[in-house]
Structure 1
Amino acid sequence: MATRRIPMLSLEAAKVAAEGAQEKAKQMGMDFNIALVDGTMQLLHFVRMPNAKLTSIQISIDKAFTAAGHRSPTSAYQNKVFLPGGPAFGIHNSNGGRFMIIGGGIPIEVDGVTVGAIGVSTGTPAQDIECATAGVEAVNAFVKRKSGSKL
């Protein structure tokens, strides 16, 4: 077979993730930049809450880009392997400087397949992760409700 079908995050599901992340942000009393990419790392949906840091816009997009491209949370890169002297030091300069090693990017998986990712930025890495996790959980609940439907 010369081609294959790859499940992708839909715009509808991306909006569900953004809404879930925004709800968590409101509970936290913070505003965030929230980016959703599809499985090919292309921006699908973006929300900038009113008081989110302007300098965090691209960071949120790049966190989603990294999480989708490596099918791993960006928080996985916060260890000594990626610090000066570590065997992967400098990886953050790859992909035109878009590779993020700061927590807040989480892949979105459906049936074990990475269909996209969410990237959140403005708070601390722990706050960004908390908000992003709420977005992933919202998509998981959406998929369960739609069971059998296309993403």
Structure 2
Amino acid sequence: MITTHQARSLIAAGEARADALGVPVNIAVLDAGAHLKAFVRQDSAVLGSIDIALNKARTAALFRAPSEALWDYAKPGGPSPGLENSNGGLTVFPGGLPLLDAQGALIGAVGVSGGAPSQDLEIAQAAAAALSA
């Protein structure tokens, strides 16, 4: 289970990386059941990215995989085209990461949206790294 303290630490680490990149983003931290634990919309972050950040985190939690890992399944011609339409809507591009404890158990997920996909992923990775700090 991810604690409130851990979730806040992830948000702080993500915000620090977003600030260093000069990219205002939305950051969502969910628990293992894909329920919201912590969230921030940085000043000037795009409003439309709120749902995307939440969905990236939800995708990572539900499938216990980085959100972009599902693209190969969901893309046209993939084994499960349209997969992104399942589970109330998934987001299958970079910025969502599962969060695992030291034993490898899922404790939650983080999702970031507001920058370019590579920036969202970098910010999510910085946030996730706060778990081991």
Question: Which of the five TM-score ranges fits, normalised by the shorter chain?
Answer: over 0.9
Measured after TM superposition, the shift of residue 85 of structure 1 is 2.1
Q: What's the secondary structure of 1:137's corresponding residue?
A: helix
Per-residue deviation, residues 110-144 of structure 1 (Å, max 9, x unmatched): 12111001000011111100000000001221xxx
Q: What's the secondary structure of 2:29's corresponding residue?
A: strand
2:96 is the alignment partner of 1:105: yes
2:128 is the alignment partner of 1:136: yes
2:65 is the alignment partner of 1:72: yes
- Which residue of 70, 84, 99 maps to 2:76? 84
Gaps spanning 5+ residues in structure 1: where? Answer: 1-7, 142-151
Partner of 1:120: 112
The CA RMSD over aligned residues, in Å, is 0.9
Q: What's the secondary structure of 1:85's corresponding residue?
A: coil
Which has the greater radius of gyration?
Answer: 1
Partner of 1:56: 49
How many aligned positions are there?
A: 132
Conserved in 2, the CA contact under 8 Å of 1:35 and 1:47?
yes
Conserved in 2, the CA contact under 8 Å of 1:35 and 1:119?
yes
- Name the CA distance, whole Å, in 1 between partners of 2:99 and 2:74: 23
- Name the CA distance, whole Å, in 2 between partners of 1:116 and 1:137: 13
What stretches of structure 1 move > 2 A for 4+ residues in a row? none
Conserved in 2, the CA contact under 8 Å of 1:35 and 1:120?
yes
Q: Look up the equivalent residue of 1:40 and give its one-letter code.
A: G
- Name the CA distance, whole Å, in 2 between partners of 1:69 and 1:20: 23
- Name the CA distance, whole Å, in 2 between partners of 1:41 and 1:31: 24
TM-score (norm 2): 0.95
